[in-house]
Amino acid sequence: MKTFSDAWTIAKMKSVPDMKRNPLTIAILLLLTGGMPLTFVYMFGGVGSLSGGLVGAFVSSAPALALFASAQDINFDNYTKLRQIFVSKPIRPVAYVLGTSLSSLIYSAPGIVLFGLLLLQRGLFTPTTALLAAGAMLLGWVVVSSMGFILSGYLINASPYSMNAIINIFAFGMAYLTPVYYPASSLGAFSWLSVLTPISAAANIVRTLGGLAPMDGLTFLSLAILVVEGLLFTLVFVARSRWRED
Amino acid sequence: MHEALEVEALSKVYKSGTQALKGVTLKAEKGQLLTVIGRNGAGKTTMVRILTTQLEPTSGTARIMGYDVVNEPEKVRPHIALVPQEAQTNQSMSPWDYVFYLTKLEGFSSAEAKSRAVDALGQVDLTSLAHKPCFALSGGERRRAIVAAAIASKAEVLFLDEPTTGLDPIIRRQIWASLRKMVEKGRTIVLTTHLMEEAEMVSDKIAVVDHGTLVASGTPSQIKGTVRAKARVVIKGNGGDGFSSYGELVKLGDREILYLDRPETANEIVSASLAKGLSAEVSPVTMEDVFYKLLGGQAE
3-class SS letters over A88-150: CCCCCHHHHHHHHHHHHHHHHHHHHHHHHHHHHHCCCCCHHHHHHHHHHHHHHHHHHHHHHHH
pLDDT at residue B300, as a whole number: 36
* B55 at A interface, C-beta within 8 A: yes
Contact across the interface for B105 and A9, Cβ inside 8 Å: yes
- Closest chain A residue by Cα to residue B71: A244
Question: What ipTM goes with this model?
Answer: 0.86
Taking CA atoms, B158 is separated from A2, B65, B162, in Å, by: 23, 12, 12
pLDDT at residue A160, as a whole number: 77
Position A190 pLDDT exceeds 50:
yes
Residues on chain A touching B84 (C-beta within 8 angstroms): 81, 84-85
CA distance B257 to chain A (A): 40
CA distance A157 to chain B (A): 13
Contact across the interface for A79 and B88, Cβ inside 8 Å: yes
Mean pLDDT of A159-177: 83
Contact across the interface for B85 and A10, Cβ inside 8 Å: no
Contact across the interface for A90 and B107, Cβ inside 8 Å: yes
CATH fit for domain B231-284, picks 3.30.70, 3.40.1000, 2.30.30, 3.40.50 = 3.30.70
B 153-212 residues with CB below 8 A of A? Answer: 159
Chain mean pLDDT for chain A:
87
Provide the domain count of chain A. Answer: 1
Sheet strand arrangement including B247-252? B247-252, B255-260, B231-236, B279-284
Contact across the interface for A85 and B82, Cβ inside 8 Å: yes
Position A29 pLDDT exceeds 80:
yes
Contact across the interface for A81 and B87, Cβ inside 8 Å: yes
List B67's β-bridge partners, or say none. Answer: B64
**Pick from B74, B81, B84: CB nearest A81:** B84
Report, at the CATH architecture level, how domain B5-224 is classified.
3-Layer(aba) Sandwich (3.40)
Nearest of A179, A55, A188, A74 to residue A118 by alpha carbon: A55
How far is C-alpha B153 from the chain's CA centre?
A: 19
- Closest chain A residue by Cα to residue B98: A13
Residues on chain A touching B54 (C-beta within 8 angstroms): 84, 87-88, 243-245
In a domain, A245, yes or no: no
* Average pLDDT by stretches of 10, chain B with 300 residues: 90 93 94 94 93 94 95 94 90 94 93 95 91 90 90 94 87 88 93 92 94 93 87 83 81 86 86 87 90 68
CA distance A78 to chain B (A): 9
Contact across the interface for B87 and A82, Cβ inside 8 Å: yes
Among the residue ranges A59-68, A158-167, B34-43, the one predicted with the least confidence is A158-167
pLDDT at residue B55, as a whole number: 92
At residue B22, φ and ψ (nearest 5 deg) are -125, 85
Is this structure's pTM higher than 0.80?
Answer: yes
CA distance B50 to chain A (A): 9
In a domain, A127, yes or no: yes
Contact across the interface for B88 and A90, Cβ inside 8 Å: no
- Closest chain A residue by Cα to residue B153: A89
In a domain, A246, yes or no: no
CB B11 within 8 A of CB B19: yes
Mean pLDDT of A87-109: 89
Residues on chain B touching A91 (C-beta within 8 angstroms): 77, 105
* Other Cβ atoms closer than 10 A to A46: 9
- Closest chain A residue by Cα to residue B13: A246
Residues of A with a Cβ under 8 Å from any B Cβ are 2, 6, 9-10, 12-13, 16-18, 20-22, 76, 79-82, 84-91, 243-246
pLDDT at residue A71, as a whole number: 77
Rounded to whole angstroms, how far apart are CA atoms B126 and A51? 51
List A95's β-bridge partners, or say none. Answer: none
Q: What 3 state SS string does B228-256 have?
A: CCCEEEEEECCCHHHHHHHEEEEEECCEE
CA distance B218 to chain A (A): 27
Instruction: Print the domain residue range for A104.
Output: 2-240
Contact across the interface for B101 and A13, Cβ inside 8 Å: yes
CA distance A241 to chain B (A): 14
pLDDT in tens, A200-230: 999 999 999 988 888 888 999 999 999 998 8
Contact across the interface for B54 and A81, Cβ inside 8 Å: no
pLDDT at residue A245, as a whole number: 65
pLDDT at residue B299, as a whole number: 39
* B78 at A interface, C-beta within 8 A: yes
Contact across the interface for A246 and B56, Cβ inside 8 Å: yes
Contact across the interface for A89 and B105, Cβ inside 8 Å: yes
pLDDT at residue B79, as a whole number: 95
Domain boundaries, chain B: 5-224, 231-284
In sequence order, what are the residues at sequence separation of 6 or more whose Cβ sits closer than 8 angstroms to the Cβ of residue B155? B78, B79, B80, B81, B106, B187
Which helix (H) or strand (E) segment holds residue B161: the answer is strand B157-161
Test the B interface: residue of A82, A89, A92 with most B CBs within 10 Å: A89
